[in-house]
Amino acid sequence: MHFAQLPQVEAAAVPADGFLLDVREDDEWAAGHVEGALHIPMGQVVARFGELTESVGEGHRVHVMCRVGGRSAQVTQYLVAQGLDAVNVDGGMLAWEAAGRPMVGREGTADGAFVL
């Protein structure tokens, strides 16, 4: 069986106004996340699919991320199979932080004290 290559994008290449779906668990989200991202833990994506499609809007790309890219790859594969334009953020939050992209910490401020 042959699978099509999973669509991926580097963290540095995600548009500033791009739609982000964070599929990490609640404790990971609380430790730090991208401001404006939609948070739906991986285990809830199927049940909350309608919420996702409502949030992203017609014709917009979904940039899916987790901590390093494994869970988000699985979710991206599911979303693509459902007909959405979805891409995996390669390297996840670790790559996002390494690229110097903005994040919100535990206190809700964009500080440098992001903890994974």
Indicate which residues carry an active-site annotation: 66
Task: Calculate the dihedral angle through the C-alpha atoms of 11, 12, 13, 15, rounding to the nearest 10 degrees.
Answer: 90
Residue that is written with structure tokens 């007909």 in the block: 83
Give 94's Cβ-side CA count (13 Å radius): 7
Query: Rounded CA gap, 13 and 50, in Å?
Result: 27
Query: Rounded CA gap, 33 and 61, in Å?
Result: 19
